[in-house]
Homo-oligomer: A and B are copies of this chain.
Amino acid sequence: MLNKETITKRFKSIQDSICERLEQCDGLATFEQDLWERDGGGGGRTRVIQNGNVLEKGGVNFSAVHGKMPAIIAKELGTGDAQFYATGVSIVLHPINPFVPIIHMNIRYFEMSNGVKWFGGGIDLTPHYVVEEDAKYFHEALKEICNKHSKSYYDEFKEWADNYFYITHRNETRGIGGIFFDRLQPTDDYSLQQRFEFVVEVGELFAPLYTTLVNKHRNKPYNEANKAWQHIRRGRYVEFNLVYDRGTKFGLETNGRIESILMSLPTNASWVYNHQVTPDSEEEKTLKLLRKGINWA
């Protein structure tokens, strides 16, 4: 029967293989690893890549932590003094070339001493310039693996991502979305093993999906205006992560390892007062596509 040791081991090997494939793709930079331990139980392997050929900054982090439930979650879940175990892989990559998208992926497993177990995760893409063909490719790949596991997964998790990766105060989505899911428990229809196989497939899809998009755009020439726009879009990414992202907020509130949590923030981000895009520009086209409910696949 599936247990946390098996899940943890598999998540570690997913981190390994993703790092290997990203290093091959980048061709210059390699991941720097920091091992850390958590007061209260467990720890992680933070791996950060910086100043590569393609990747300006990013992290592929693994952690497996356990102990007494932090008060803030115990309260939310109404579980009292339970013990918990949580493991996951979490990725954010910021490329140098503005025509290569930012990407985020996360897979996670959580169990409590009261017997509750679930998986969560997601992948979403944040192009500085939305290319409709890429968005279709990205969503179709996600839909394909979702469909292998459940007819309802894609529609449900795509909508969840639209709602989750949303910058309310800007009235715009963070990017073109993807899938997001949480608290996938075993049910009559899906065993824990089946939930696990789905989550593993999400993890394994990440590297081929992203490197395809990287390789498509990595050599596209760009100018200062494209970089300036990239930095403004990164500013929105910072806004999302610091204001809304549950994982980030949770990490900050529970005294998590700050450098691992905030590895998601870019080397450079920019804010320009009341920035307006030029009518009919690529930037304007992108803004028009940063909304919920677009049926990409």
Q: Are A267 and B259 in contact (CB under 8 A)?
A: no
Could you tell me if A273 and B269 are in contact, using CB atoms closer than 8 angstroms? Answer: no
Tell me if A268 is interfacial: C-beta within 8 Å of chain B.
yes
Q: CB-nearest residue of chain B relative to A270?
A: B268
Decide: A268 and B269 in contact? CB cutoff 8 A: yes
- Per-residue B-contact encoding for A242-265, CB less than 8 Å = 1, 0 else: 110000000010010011001101
* Docked pose: A90 CA to B272 CA in angstroms: 18
Q: Is the CB of B258 within 8 A of A170?
A: yes
Asked if A22 CB lies within 8 Å of chain B CBs, one says no
A281 cross-chain contacts in B, Cβ below 8 A? none
Interface residues of A in 205-255 (CB under 8 A from B): 231, 235, 238-239, 242-243, 252, 255
A198 to B34, CA, bound (A): 51
Residues of B within 8 A of A262 (CB): 239, 271
* A114 interfacial by beta-carbon distance below 8 Å: no
State whether A263 and B273 are in contact (beta carbons under 8 Å apart), knowing that A243-B252, A252-B243 are contacts in the complex.
yes
A97 close to B (CB within 8 Å):
no
Does A148 sit at the interface, judged by CB under 8 A? no
Q: Which residues of B contact A231 (CB under 8 A)?
A: 268
In the complex, A235 Cα to B59 Cα: how many Å? Answer: 18
Tell whether, in the assembled complex, residue B242 and residue A238 are in contact, meaning their CB atoms are under 8 Å apart: yes
Contact of A267 with B263 in the complex, beta carbons under 8 Å: no
Say yes or no: A274 contacts B252, CB within 8 Å. Answer: no
Which of B265, B266, B273 touches A48 (beta carbons < 8 Å)?
Answer: B273
**Contact-residue size bin, chain A (C-beta under 8 Å from the other chain):** 20 to 34
B residues less than 8 Å from A258 (CB atoms): 169-170
Query: Least Cβ distance of A260 to chain B in Å?
Result: 9
Considering the complex, give the chain B residue whose CB is closest to the CB of A258.
B169
Pick from B168, B170, B255, B267: contact of A271, CB under 8 Å: B267
Complex interface bits, A31-53 against B, C-beta within 8 A gives 1, otherwise 0: 01010000000000000101000
A59 vs chain B, min Cβ distance (A): 7
Q: How far is the CB of A102 from chain B (nearest CB, A)?
A: 14
A158 at the interface (CB under 8 A from B): no
Q: Of B168, B239, B259, B271, which is within 8 A of A273 by CB?
A: B259
Query: CB < 8 Å: which of B168, B252, B269, B272 contacts A269?
Result: B269
A57 at the interface (CB under 8 A from B): yes
27 pairs of residues in contact across A and B, judged by CB atoms under 8 Å:
A32-B273, A34-B274, A48-B273, A48-B274, A57-B271, A168-B252, A169-B252, A169-B255, A170-B258, A231-B268, A235-B265, A238-B238, A238-B242, A239-B262, A242-B242, A242-B243, A243-B252, A259-B274, A263-B273, A266-B271, A267-B270, A267-B271, A267-B272, A268-B268, A268-B270, A269-B270, A269-B271
